[in-house]
Amino acid sequence: MTHNDVITPVLLSGGSGTRLWPLSRKSYPKQFSPLLGETSLFQRSAERLSGPAFAAPMVLTNSDFRFIVTEQLAGVGIDPSAILIEPAGRNTAPAVLAAALWQAKTDSDALLLVAPSDHEVPDAEAFRAAVAAGVPAAKDGRLVTFGIKPTRPETGYGYLELSEDPGDFAARPLALSRFVEKPDAQRAAEMLSAGNYLWNAGIFLFTAKTIIAAFEAHAPELLGPVKAAVDNGKPDLGFLRLDPEAWDGAQDVSIDYAVMEKADNLSVVPFGSEWSDLGGWDAVWRESGPDDKGVATHGAATAIDCENTLLRSEDEGLEIVGLGVKDLIAVAMPDAVLVADVSRAQEVKQAVTALKAKKSRQATAFPKDHRPWGWFESLVIGDRFQVKRIHVHPGAALSLQSHHHRSEHWIVVEGTAKVTVDEEVKLVSENQSVYIPLGAVHRMENPGKVPMVLIEVQTGTYLGEDDIIRYEDVYARG
């Protein structure tokens, strides 16, 4: 493999995955959760697209997730080449164009592999082989897409119609006839038996200059705003923040609709191994390896005399028990529980819509609030008090801040905290506590090599997260 064949993965990681509520929410979507196994889908995607054939990945995400992205990549020992921050969700077309324009600044011949970061592909070796099979076509100016061999009449995916027979589904570029929208059940069954339709995986391989030329030909209206967003982007702690004003002018449109459905230089590489976009709890149930009665459990879950059922507890302190249930999905979080018929798994979005309508916090916010320095969770909330558990990563520091409406009491339960209160700086170790009076300027840091955990008791007339005046912040939050 020559230097020119090295592929830069472009991981799209901005989505919010509402069909996997309550585990996946706007503040902490499914790609960052360990849905299957120990690592997150995002980490598994990054690892799958690493090795001798790949350069360091580029990630597109939004501002809320930027520190989760860097933390999770560091967790699997991968250093990104660039993290581009989208000021607002604009679907996949502007994101892909931004990645290509950014890459083209240094090398317009570079190969880019665009992939969602929330898919599950158990056989990573076979997937890398399929990608390698597409490289000659991509270098030859083709837009290469990847089609999955369908295993059932799925109505949740779009399809790719091939103009030739895929035969044994060996990985090689084939000609594409057209893109097909998500079908109804009857049409899906017809396409499955026809044999020349593949699931559209939403994964693409091309050179930077080929995809930029495709946008020039088929979606020229996106070039101006996206190019300005990249050119006027501001570097910020190793991230590139795309310019919000220019980005606002970009249309909200998918790459399929903007470019792929109109292009005539498309090739498809079939992929015959297992693949799932984990687009609903039914897919998670299938990928969790159900037993011979169709039962899959996760965490503190017990199934007694159940059939075709998924039971998941996402909290070790929360037991979920199914007794004599059939065709059921039950997912328990500390602050929300979903109970659904397996056949209605694709409709979980409706639950999120209903919760948003009643202004329920659980619709979008995760019980753990992830921050660049670690995370916190509320344990108890009263009218004039709140108890939190705060986890601070080794070497991390919270901003120097004060509050108008609350005082705080900190008790260290693991590790050692370096605490600043006005002029005084001191070390507070396990079982020691410190009081932060109302209005005092304060900060906590973890100077150690292990995580530091403390219990925070807040008392006051208003306990909202927006009662913070920041004086300095190593993470440059506005």
Q: Are residues 174 and 53 in the same domain?
A: yes
Mean of pLDDT values over 382-391: 92
d(CA 443, CA 446): 10
In a domain, 277, yes or no: no
Mean of pLDDT values over 254-278: 89
In a domain, 351, yes or no: no
Q: Is the pLDDT of residue 2 over 80?
A: no
- β-partners of residue 452 are 392
| Domain edge (last residue) among 271, 295, 321 | 271
Q: Give the pLDDT band (50/70/90) at residue 326.
A: very high
pLDDT of 165-182, one tens digit each?
888 788 888 888 888 888
Q: Give the pLDDT band (50/70/90) at residue 1.
A: very low
The percentage of residues in the chain with a pLDDT greater than 70, rounded to a whole number, is 98
Q: Are residues 169 and 213 in the same domain?
A: yes
Mean of pLDDT values over 448-452: 94
Count of structural domains within the chain: 3
> What integer pLDDT is reported at residue 88 of this predicted model?
87
d(CA 414, CA 446): 11
Q: Are residues 326 and 256 in the same domain?
A: no
Q: Which domain holds residue 11?
A: 7-271
Q: Which pair of tokens denotes residue 93?
A: 């077309």
| Domain edge (last residue) among 271, 305, 331 | 271
Q: How many residues does the chain have?
A: 478
- 2-11, 205-214, 305-314: segment of lowest average pLDDT: 2-11
Q: Mean pLDDT in the chain? A: 90
Selected residue with higher pLDDT from 81 and 370: 81
Q: Are residues 12 and 93 in the same domain?
A: yes
CB atoms within 10 A of CB 77: 9
Q: Is the pLDDT of residue 217 over 80?
A: yes
Mean of pLDDT values over 210-216: 97
Q: Are residues 179 and 295 in the same domain?
A: no
Domain of 392, CATH number, reads: 2.60.120.10
For residue 69, which of 31, 97, 96 has the smallest C-alpha distance?
Answer: 31
In a domain, 359, yes or no: no
Alpha helices in 202-360 (DSSP H): 208-218, 220-231, 244-248, 255, 281-287, 349-357
Q: Are residues 178 and 245 in the same domain?
A: yes
In a domain, 276, yes or no: no
Number of H helices, E strands in the chain: 11, 28
d(CA 263, CA 259): 6
Q: Give the pLDDT band (50/70/90) at residue 225.
A: very high
> What integer pLDDT is reported at residue 3 of this predicted model?
53
| Domain edge (last residue) among 239, 271, 303 | 271
pLDDT of 275-315, one tens digit each?
888 888 998 999 898 999 999 999 999 999 999 999 999 88
pLDDT of 106-131, one tens digit each?
999 999 999 999 888 989 999 999 99
Q: Is the pLDDT of residue 478 over 70?
A: no
Q: Are residues 425 and 454 in the same domain?
A: yes
Q: Give the pLDDT band (50/70/90) at residue 476.
A: low
Domain of 37, CATH number, reads: 3.90.550.10
> What integer pLDDT is reported at residue 316 of this predicted model?
86
pLDDT of 412-442, one tens digit each?
999 999 999 999 999 999 999 999 999 999 9
> What integer pLDDT is reported at residue 287 of this predicted model?
87
Q: Are residues 204 and 311 in the same domain?
A: no
Q: Are residues 220 and 336 in the same domain?
A: no
Q: Are residues 181 and 293 in the same domain?
A: no
d(CA 87, CA 244): 5
Q: Are residues 468 and 319 in the same domain?
A: no
CB atoms within 10 A of CB 403: 22
CB atoms within 10 A of CB 122: 14
Q: Is the pLDDT of residue 473 over 80?
A: no
Q: Are residues 433 and 372 in the same domain?
A: yes
In a domain, 362, yes or no: no
